[in-house]
Amino acid sequence: MFTPDTEKQVSIKPPPTPISVHLSSPMQTPGCRPNTSPNFSTFGPSLGYKVPSTLVSEHWQLLLQHYPNSHFPNILAGIIQHGARVGYEGPHVHIHGCNHSSAFCIPVEISQNIASEVAANRVVKLRSLPRFYYLSPLGAVEKRTDGIRTGWRYIHDLSHLHGHSVNDKIAGAYGSLMYQTLDDAICLIEKHGPHCSL
């Protein structure tokens, strides 16, 4: 886990598709959406390798070039290229947590899930550990419907070790979200008339 640093500028390259023709003129855009201005540095190329992704950062920057918050396309492109930081501001440590006993209830399912994540390039296998790291434990939680167990879901427990976990070192303000209210919806309906769609 790395402490946040200054976000790097991500250069915009035109994509090799005719999409730029359709987006060359300014378009009508709504105001900024909630939760698009993070309170901490959301990415940084500290790990030294490009994060595998099916998203193309340059395309997203072009699609969002008229977005009211000019920083948001750059933030999104940086996350696509380098991965997202979680806002950890604790000390540099090396903590190796052992998996929870619940993980051994579904060892085959957890192993298959990890293998599928690696195959889809959503998880990267490291050949060696960095100097500082958190190895948070895996666990399993029952899924229940009407009190009946319907399956399991596996968790990556970022709240372990109590008082010294990754989550403990993330400021509460970083995880706060703004939600649109019913009043916002009513105002939009009043503004656009009875035949509008939300």
| Domain, as residue range, for 32 | 19-88
Quote the number of domains for the chain.
2
- Please name the amino acid found at residue 77: A
Per-residue confidence (pLDDT) for residue 18, from 0 to 100: 43
Classify residue 83: in a domain, yes or no: yes
The pLDDT assigned to 47 comes to 62
In angstroms, the CA 51 to CA 100 distance is 28
Which of 56, 71, 88 represents a domain boundary (last residue)? Answer: 88
Contact 82, 124 (CB under 8 A): no
Q: Per mean pLDDT, which range of 8-22, 66-80, 136-150 is the poorest?
A: 8-22
Let me know if residue 10 belongs to a domain: no
Could you tell me if 110 and 62 lie in one domain? no
Q: Are residues 109 and 163 in the same domain?
A: yes
Please say if the pLDDT value at position 121 is more than 90.
no
Whether pLDDT at 6 is above 70: no
Regarding whether 157 and 140 lie in a shared domain, the answer is yes
- At 11-51, the pLDDT tens digits run 545 444 444 444 444 545 566 777 777 888 888 876 666 67
Query: What was the pLDDT predicted at 46?
Result: 65
Same domain, 78 and 26: yes
pTM (2 d.p.): 0.62
